[in-house]
Structure formats: structure tokens, C-alpha cells
């Protein structure tokens, strides 16, 4: 089981590509990121197609939309390749490995520009306003990470949470902001490399022409431990939600209805697919919980603070602790958690493939 889980992007990619080769895909392309890893290796979004290239029904499985969260999605993709059964007629599967390869390789959730890819899919003509985030920005990423500065910052956040409640606090922090490039959940001011690459893949493969497309985007870090929450951000009662409920059952949660551990968000990658395939797609975020939301916010705050520091004179012990805490939150070194990820990931893939047959 744990053979699917790697210790770095390079190994995860190597494992994935070796299994791709053994499974003989009908199409394959590598999209090279302009930058390299810290070790000088290529950073690549690998796209692999199995089944008829003209199939009208398609399942897309995406990993590492949030770089460091890629270990789980990559493991599910590799596990599926090992077990890959024959696909039904007129049905294909597209694996997108490492949507944000820079973040995966550098063990960060964001990309090289600090952009959260999952807030980047907005129309940049008018940038959305995020008033709540602006109020909290200095407390979320304080200038100093010393205990007294942190205590003061934490109190500001606690006061906001007490005044507005947990849900509105989470929305203020995480729904997406477009004004603080070094801050949390920053959506950028232009389309990111990953967004442009996804658009290119969709064009190359004529995805807009398909009759029914299921997309599973694998994430980690939010929700109950070792549970893969099936989050659906389609509008309530839309066709996308109806398909999700029919295929994945009562497991489906909806941020718009307040039934999910996720709050409604701006610029999600879902919106790319919903726009590309109106009334012909069902996008779910398969989000594997790893710990509390408070811990999620705290490890991200520390990571973003660290990213804004000059390397010279930096406390190495503090740096290593922040990096380790981040990795532990998004990628628990726990065999039971990893097993749960593989099992539930494969169940959801099978449900999507079966669901597509009913469309
Ligand atoms: Zn994520």
C-alpha cells in the first residue's frame, strides 16, 4: 500500500510514469513548467489518457492542485493504474498528475508566485474584494514569529472569531483574496501557469465536446481525519449536484448549503470545468482530512511567514519545524491514513465510472 506514497515529487512522478508505461495509454503529454526544482530537476504536469480518444464520457482525476497535497492524489492515480480494469465502451479516463508541480516539488500549497491555484479561476477584469481578509491580514501573517507577537496576533483572530462565529471567520480567512500576494489563499492577478496549461490540455483534447465528464480533484488537509469528503461546489440543485448525489450517494456535501467542512470560495478550479462543460460535468473535490482547521490555518500562516523571510540570519531550527509541521498536516506519515486514502480514492473512481454509464 505505502509503495504508492512517495517522499518527494520526483519519486511520486517516477512511480506514476512507470505505471503509466506498463498500462499503455492511448495518449500522453508532458507540460514542462518554466522553472526547475531546488535540485535542478524538471517540473512537469503529466497528462495521460486511457481509452478511446473520441469517447463521449470521460473521468478526469487531478492531483496536486495544491502542490504539497499531491502525495495523496498521486498515490490514488498510481494505485488505479495498477488495478486499471477495462473501461466501458465510449468511456475514457484522463489522469492529470501534478497540476501545480512547483508547489509539489517545493512542498508548498501555492505556486511559485504565491498563487493558490484553487482561487485563481476568476475573471481578472474586476478583482473580487475580500474585506474580511484585509481586516485580518496582519494578524494572519504577523511581522515576527516570536511568541509575544504571535500571542497578540492570535488574540486578534480569536476576537474576530468570537464576534462573527466560526463559519464567517473561516470565510474571511480562506474564501480567497486578491490583494496580499504573500498572504493565505491568494488568487493572483492573472491566470497562473497551471491554469493556462489546463486550458491548453482542454483545447488539445477537445474536452468541451464531451457529453458527460466527471472530475475528481484530490486534496488533503481539511475535514475529519482519514475521511475523504466528497465536496460539490456546483450550484445547489444543479445538474452537477444531482449527478454527484446519484453517483456518490449521501457522502456528497455542499459548501453553498453549509453542509461541508469547506466554506464557499472564489476562483475554484471547479469553475473552469463548469464553464467549459455547462450541464455536462460533475466536479467533486475529494478532500482527505488530516487534522483540525485551526491547525490547517496555523501551519499555513507559519509557511507564508517563512516564505516572506530572507534566508540570511534565519533561525534554521524554526525553519525546519515550520516546514515539518506543514508536511505533517498535509501528508500524515500514518499507514492507516494512507490506506484509507487509497481505498476511498479507488471507490470514488469506480463510482464515477459507473455513474457515467447511467448518463
Ligand atoms: Zn487543497
Distance from the CA of 220 to the center of ligand 1, in angstroms? Answer: 6
Burial string for 14-42 (b: 16+ CB within 10 Å, else e) reads ebbbebbeeeebeeeeebebeeebeeeee
Distance from the CA of 69 to the center of ligand 1, in angstroms? Answer: 6
Which residues have their alpha-adjacent CB atom under 5 A from ion ligand 1?
66, 69, 219
Distance from the CA of 239 to the center of ligand 1, in angstroms? Answer: 24
Distance from the CA of 217 to the center of ligand 1, in angstroms? Answer: 9
Sign of the dihedral defined by the CA atoms of residues 328, 286, 301, 187, in that order? positive
Q: For the chain, what are the domain ranges? A: 2-124+190-291+333-357, 131-184+294-328
The set of cell numbers assigned to 45 is: 504536469
Query: Quick check: 348 and 248 in contact, CB under 8 A?
Result: yes
Helix (H) or strand (E) holding 190: none
Distance from the CA of 114 to the center of ligand 1, in angstroms? Answer: 14
In 3D, which of 352, 179, 198, 357 has the Cα closest to residue 282?
A: 352
Distance from the CA of 12 to the center of ligand 1, in angstroms? Answer: 18
Query: Quick check: 115 and 187 in contact, CB under 8 A?
Result: yes
- pLDDT tens for the chain, 359 residues long, are 578 999 999 999 999 999 999 999 999 999 999 999 999 999 999 999 999 999 999 999 999 999 999 999 999 999 999 987 789 999 999 999 999 999 999 999 999 999 999 999 999 999 988 889 999 999 999 999 999 999 999 999 999 999 999 999 999 999 999 999 999 999 999 999 999 999 999 999 999 999 999 999 999 999 999 999 999 999 999 999 999 999 999 999 999 999 999 999 999 999 999 999 999 999 999 999 999 999 999 999 999 999 999 989 899 999 999 999 999 999 999 999 999 999 999 999 999 999 999 99
Out of 3.40.630.10, 3.40.50.620, 3.40.640.10, 3.30.499.10, the CATH code matching 2-124+190-291+333-357 is 3.40.630.10
- Backbone φ and ψ for 93, nearest 5 degrees, come out as -130, 135
Distance from the CA of 55 to the center of ligand 1, in angstroms? Answer: 29
Query: Quick check: 232 and 265 in contact, CB under 8 A?
Result: no
Amino acid at each position: 500500500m505505502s509503495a504508492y506514497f512517495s517522499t518527494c515529487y520526483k519519486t511520486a512522478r517516477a512511480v506514476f510514469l512507470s505505471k503509466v508505461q506498463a498500462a499503455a495509454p492511448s495518449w500522453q503529454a508532458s507540460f514542462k513548467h518554466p522553472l526547475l526544482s531546488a535540485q535542478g530537476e524538471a517540473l512537469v504536469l503529466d497528462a495521460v489518457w486511457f481509452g478511446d480518444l473520441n469517447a463521449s464520457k470521460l473521468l478526469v482525476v487531478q492531483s496536486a492542485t495544491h502542490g504539497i497535497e499531491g502525495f495523496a492524489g498521486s498515490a490514488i492515480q498510481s494505485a488505479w493504474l495498477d488495478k486499471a480494469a477495462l473501461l466501458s465502451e465510449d468511456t475514457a479516463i484522463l489522469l492529470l498528475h501534478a497540476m501545480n508541480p512547483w508547489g509539489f516539488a517545493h512542498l508548498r500549497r501555492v505556486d511559485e508566485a504565491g498563487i493558490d491555484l484553487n482561487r485563481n479561476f476568476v475573471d481578472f477584469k474586476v478583482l473580487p474584494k475580500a474585506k474580511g481578509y484585509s481586516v485580518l491580514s496582519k494578524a494572519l501573517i504577523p511581522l515576527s514569529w516570536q511568541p509575544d507577537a504571535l500571542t497578540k496576533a492570535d488574540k486578534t483572530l480569536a476576537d474576530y472569531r468570537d464576534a462573527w462565529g466560526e463559519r464567517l471567520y473561516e470565510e474571511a480567512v480562506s474564501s480567497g483574496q486578491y490583494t496580499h500576494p504573500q498572504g493565505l489563499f491568494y488568487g493572483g492577478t492573472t491566470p497562473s501557469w497551471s491554469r493556462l496549461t489546463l486550458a491548453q490540455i482542454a483545447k488539445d483534447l477537445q474536452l468541451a465536446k464531451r457529453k458527460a465528464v466527471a472530475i475528481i480533484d484530490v486534496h488533503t488537509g481539511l475535514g475529519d481525519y482519514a475521511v475523504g469528503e466528497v465536496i460539490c461546489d456546483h450550484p445547489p440543485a444543479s445538474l452537477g449536484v444531482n449527478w454527484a448525489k446519484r453517483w456518490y450517494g449521501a457522502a456528497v456535501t455542499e459548501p453553498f448549503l453549509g453542509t461541508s467542512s469547506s466554506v464557499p470560495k472564489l476562483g475554484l478550479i471547479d469553475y473552469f470545468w463548469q464553464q467549459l462543460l455547462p450541464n455536462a460535468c460533475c466536479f467533486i473535490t475529494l478532500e482527505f482530512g488530516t487534522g483540525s482547521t485551526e491547525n490547517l490555518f496555523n501551519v499555513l500562516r507559519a509557511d507564508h511567514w517563512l516564505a516572506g523571510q530572507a534566508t540570511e540570519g534565519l533561525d534554521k531550527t524554526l525553519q525546519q519545524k515550520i516546514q515539518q509541521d506543514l508536511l505533517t498536516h498535509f501528508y500524515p506519515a500514518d499507514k492507516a491514513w494512507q490506506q484509507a486514502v487509497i481505498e476511498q480514492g479507488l471507490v470514488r473512481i469506480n463510482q464515477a465510472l459507473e455513474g457515467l454509464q447511467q448518463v
